[in-house]
Structure 1
Amino acid sequence: MNNSKQLSRLMVFACVAQKGSFTQAAESLGMTKSAVSQQVKALESELGIRVLNRTTRGVSLTALGEKLLLRCQILQDQVELAFTDIANAEENPSGRFAITFPHALEAIVVMPAIEQLCFEYPGLEPELVASDKSLDLVESDLDVAVHAGELADSSYRALPVGTMKEIFCATPLFLNRTSRPETVEELSDLPWISTGWQQAKASVLDVHSNEKSNIHLKQVARVNTLPSALELSRRHLGMVLLPDVIAKPLIKSGELVHILDTVTGPLWPVYTTHAYQADKPIHLTRFHQLVCRYFNSALI
């Protein structure tokens, strides 16, 4: 199979998957709906797998389709960067690149993003500041911030990354020693490890009814960083309220258990912010792309 011939079909498939519709993908690509459908069918035929489920309501990804889409999104990034590189052929980013970010996003989002960024732009010298406090870019002499939570009014530019929600988790051993809650009210009976920004009076949301309620959690320890809370939870000392972007990989591995999967804590929008008023440096644009990619990959 000549894989290079599949590139255009992969891009068409990615557009259909992202739009959730052959019609919308056709409009976006400037093609007919039948041409888009033929491209996807040809791709599936060549690969020998089904990548999309078709229904009268639209399309959804198969398990293999989800994996393929992640690869296609990386290809899309590279295509965009190829044209950006042409337009900025004289630029070769180098020197200090200062970034601040919350501890919650350090290991699973920021570090892999920095690794890839430095591979693509080896002249960069990253300076990383992990902080759960919002640092002012100008006052702290920073190039970009990965920010979780609502933004304060400022002249800084904000680029959306996604949204994370806090969910209750604990180790299987901890739940075996105590009991697994079946209702929201029973959450109040479990020992809870809190972070500096979390309060014992917690607001929770029932995802089915979309109703909010307040509960009082039984705090047994308080820490000032999320990694510390996670470490205490791993040592079976209590349940913890974690951002889903951190919790999901640990739940998949079996290290943690999602308690009451119909209930969530607060939602946190995530952005990258910068102070550039005109054109952004190419490496800042690429950093934002990578943060979005690794953030969304962790949620799958």
Structure 2
Amino acid sequence: MKIAVAGAGAMGSRVGLYLTQAGQDVVLLDDWQTHIDAVTAHGLKVHTLGETEYHPVSIRSFKDYSMPVDLVIVLTKAMAAEEKIKQLMAQGVITAETNVMSMMNGLGHGDLLRKYIADDKILLAVTMWSAGFNGPGEVTLEGTGNIEFGRMDGTVDDFVKELNAIFDEAQLNGRISEDIVTSIWNKALVNCCFNTYCAVTDKKIGEFGAYPYADDMLIPLMKEIIAVGERKGARLDFDATLNKFHAIYSPEVVGLHYPSMHQDIQNGRKTEVDFLTGRVAKYGREFSIPTPYCDILTHLVHQIEKS
């Protein structure tokens, strides 16, 4: 399958690398020329479990790529997604036959894709893989994960089945979801809680979880998100989610990981908080559901961004 991964940051590099190693025809697309040059010259430098290796992957700049593909996996920052989708359409990368998958963090991406892509070509995905971006051409890939994905209406067609087989062959652990709305909100729960809290406390996920009163911080925030998510059609389980949160503190899962929002702040980049707690707060206002924890965390992250 011809696949373009739009956004060659930490997660885009991980997904693109695994698909490449599984024999798929993959190109990573990015705008950062220094990163592109480093990967082109030396391969992708990957740190895993105390070891460092270089892996060849194909990478190009967005502006220089114009080949049509079967699948575009969107892993840009949420703020840049609409511009990049329009650019790829104008350059002929996305055609009427191209499936487009959002694997971005946050909420509201299905509505964005529907502005440009036919419903039967849209895929939404959430991933529990983690990745760290260390600098041009260099990433840290620890832990395990999966990719849960599906059509917005739950249809499981031949393309969905083929893609799931490809994900499994690439050891990305694909899971077809017949309720992708719930899947997205379950992932948003993770990101709204740990991306924000780890960003404002400057901690890894396991370090945050080691605080004796971490649950006192998590529980009221979780209740806000679940109340809003259920009004948006998601089926969310508070107890199961809290148990999952306790499990991910382990170093063998993602306990050693700094979430992406923390990485953005450390590198002086704008975060996706407006698509996480900020988007939950926006929906909460529409439904007259108070979201004080989401509101204050969104403001705190923006304060840190500005400093």
**TM-score normalised over the length of structure 2:** 0.31
Question: Of the two, which has the highest radius of gyration?
Answer: 1
Q: Which has the higher contact order (CA 8 A, sep 6+)?
A: 1
TM-score (norm 1): 0.32
Higher strand share: 1
When you count helix as a share of all residues, which structure comes out higher?
2
